[in-house]
Amino acid sequence: MAYSAHRILFLGLCLLSGIKCSKVVLENNGYKNLVIAINPEVPENTSYKLVKNSKETEMVRGASKYLFTASAKRFYIKDVKILIPATWETQPNYARPKTESYSEADVIIAAPYMNYGNDPYTLQYGGCGEAGRYIHLTPDFLIDDKFLQIYGPRERVLVHEWAHLRWGVYDEYNEDKPFYFAPDKSFEATRCSVDITGIMAECKDPQCSGIKPCEVDQVTGSPTKKCQFFPDKKQRTTSSIMFYQGLNAITEFCNQDSHNAEAPNMQNKMCKSRSVWEVIEQSKDFKASVPMNENAPPPTTFTYLQGGDRVICLVLDVSSNMMISQRKERLQQAAELFILQFIETGSFLGIVQFNSEGKILQELTHIEDDNSRITLANHLPNLAEGGLNICEGIRTAFRVFRNFDQMTYGDEIVLATAGEDNGLTSCMSEVKESGAIIHTIAIGPSAAKELEVLSGITGGLQFSATDSPDSNGLIDAFAGICSTGGHFFNQTIQKKIIYMMNSRQYYWLNGTVSVDRTVGNDTVFVVTWETMATPAIYVFSPSGQDYSADFVLDMALKESHLKIPGTAEVGDWHYNIDIINATSQTLTMTVTSRAASSSQPPVTVNAYMNKNSANAQSPIKVYAEVSKGYLPVLGAKVTAFIESDTNKEEFQLLDNGAGADIIKNDGVYSGYFFKFNGNGRYSLKVKVQGSEKVTKLSFRKGARAYYIPGYHENGYIFPNPQKPPVSEEDLQSDLGSFTRTTSGGVLVVTGMTGSQSPNFPPCQITDLDANIEGEQVSLSWTAPGEHVDQGTASNYEIRMSATCKELKDHFENAILINMSGLVPQEAGKREYFAFKPEGIVLKNGTIIYFAARAADTFSIKADISNIAQATIMLPYIPAVPEDPESTIDITSLALITVFSIIGICIIAGVSMCITKRKQRRRRRTAPAA
């Protein structure tokens, strides 16, 4: 039965939405197929406390009820899959996964890297309304009840993070700017809603054994960084969950009526001062649902899944389409490299070839050592003839799986093909029902258009490789099909791919490759070429040891590889390639490695695009997440390469909190791609370069549950332990010089009528900042580009107002600032502009709001920026009791003060009466004059 058109349409909408095509679907108000995956590095002895005590199911059940209330009876959690590590003891109630995997999980349970950092957070780096990548919870957070006081009930925390993940909303607090100057001339805690009450105070010491009144910064007039807002334990308001999720009274998200548009938080910054509920109302979930009539949601069901060893089958096209542009040879080289290096030891691998028919070349073979890898590589096909039937290749792979254990659930297919196949839709239903995962590699411009649908419905990865002679996208693609099990130690790290064009009769190619401190095991150098002339290859370690004689040559595949025994020496490895009597050809040098230690994760990079398909009417956002374990890596040089069949674009990705980048210094490097040159596939590759003493580690910033400093109740402050301090020694871990490359998948562009993309305006300014210094206002922001975030904008339009609302709703009516003296700088540079506002007296209590936008040479204007506030105020901050353990609380103190004043007045009154009586007696008894 052909795969139904409406199901394919649904997948297309999923791809266009920018969601990572999570398995989660909304069905009759209930979220189904939510995947919670436990990292295999979590010790098995934790399983009793975590799984057998049902900590995660208890949290989810509570979250479902809380979500039902918070969403006005629209949503609840219907079905959850919990993925147990394959290394844990098998239980009778554990089923086998289908397409569920650790890398595609919605919630991961993993220990933080280092001894602290139990903040629940969501990896979120898209724009407003764009889904996040995953929620990260630590085992300690789920097991240790001490965190209940700090973050609030676990179910409330999960709903807070779910809003980040699913609906792309942001936090309503701001740890960097916890207070702001309100229009009523008082300092307010950055929060939503302002109806949440509490007091401002600061701890006397890191343990917060006592508190004292907040100090005031004498320069800015604002509370110092030590000042904290302690909410009242009892509240009369019910919003908002994206502020303090732990307060018992909080059961709703901020809506249009309760929203605080003045607060300088990420929600206002990223969502144009709209409330969280307004963003949720625009989501596809909201539009596909109506409130339920029930008073409580149906119960959540749970399924425990546990995978085994990785089972994978290469399904390789050997049709006549592979005769073009040396596709057959390049596919052989890439597949051999996958077998010899990329696939993990312990996996099972089979090989299938197909043209109009499918043929098994090798049944599933256990990869135990180098000998088993070589045996498999010797069974790669060497054929290119006949027609094409992709479904036959897939069905043959299913036979390989069933010959092994009668099942196809969770097994993986790597499908590489170059031709069109109008019959591919005939096996879509069979593929869907198989529970297998299909990774697709489209070779050349004519590969079947349905390949991305095939990988999409199975949760597989998708790649493309052009026929360009100076590219080797096939190696990139195979390198991108790494393990999805969460084991960082077994993951292959692609350090460097060097493409080398040669057109001379005799030529030397020289260079270096850095092996950093985080990798070194299973280091392999692979050189491929095109002609029959074999190059001479020389490789030297940093200490000068010559490994040239250890290369293993494969003349048939025109490939030679070197595996460094043990752990490779740290430093710069030198290579020399001697090309003799060679005609014009392309050579590649690929270097891969694995983690140097099982106790220290290596530096890794993951690359994404916010869409898998587009109509070229809006720019595409490109992201590269650079991390070491779960710690971001800062200061790296990150370059994106996007290649189509006719063009290749190269541009920088930045972690500067501007343009496409949401949060500065969070290890996620971002940029826009907009130079479309026609319809078809565009493949992404990212290269990361880290330099000695430049790159460093940081803690994850961004969307996270608020670490509540404590509570105020009945006149007392009950402080929580202060957040563990960041260890500079840990963060200054010397990463050394390193290089990484990775593939980021495929973008499919349709709907273009020519070869030129539309003119896009400058990107939105998102980091406008304003300050008043003396008699001048100083503004600063990151320069956008002429086109999105590249080039130089033509001019700026900046306006100011006495109200935030005017800039938000009627920007054109606000006061225009004369910007004629400012010449815009190149995109990415910091702009500064100072001026003396006319018609405004700058005095104590002045508040001015600013917003900006740039325009290009065609006067196409960008979206209006975030709204920045500038103030002048030296406020009085009320005092609080100095010791929370004092036997006299605030109320008692106030009463004593009142009674004391009354007593003093009474005493004074009595004294005055007595004095007057004495005076009158003296007058009566005094002798007459």
The helix-helix angle for 154-167 and 55-70 (nearest 10°) equals 60
Phi-psi region of 561 (alpha: psi -120 to 50; beta: other; left: phi over 0): beta
Distance CA 251, CA 671 (A): 37
Strands in 61-183 per DSSP E:
76-77, 79-84, 94-95, 107-109, 121-123, 134-137, 179-181
| Cβ proximity of 104 and 20 under 8 Å | yes
Phi-psi region of 715 (alpha: psi -120 to 50; beta: other; left: phi over 0): left
Residue with tokens 């009274």: 249
DSSP one-letter code for 184: T
* Phi, psi (rounded to 5 degrees) for 807: -65, -35
| Cβ proximity of 412 and 439 under 8 Å | yes
Say which residues have a Cβ less than 8 Å from residue 367's Cβ, sequence separation at least 6: 343, 344, 345, 346, 347, 348, 349, 373, 376
- Angle formed at CA 204 by CA 201 and CA 208, multiple of 5 degrees: 85
Does the annotation count 281 as an active-site position? no
Please return the burial class of 447, using the count of CB atoms within 10 Å of its CB with bins 0-12, 13-18 and 19+.
buried
Which candidate in 161, 252, 329, 786 is catalytic?
161
Distance CA 438, CA 915 (A): 102
Between strands 680-690 and 631-634, the pairing is unpaired
Please return the burial class of 385, using the count of CB atoms within 10 Å of its CB with bins 0-12, 13-18 and 19+.
exposed
| Cβ proximity of 141 and 118 under 8 Å | yes
DSSP string, 684-725: EEEEEEE-TTT-EE----SSB-----EEEETTEEEEPPPPPP
The one-letter amino acid code at 398 reads F
* Exposure of 117 in the CB half-sphere (CA atoms within 13 A): 20
Residue of 105, 121, 133 whose CA lies nearest to 158 = 121
User: Hey, which residues are catalytic here?
Assistant: 161
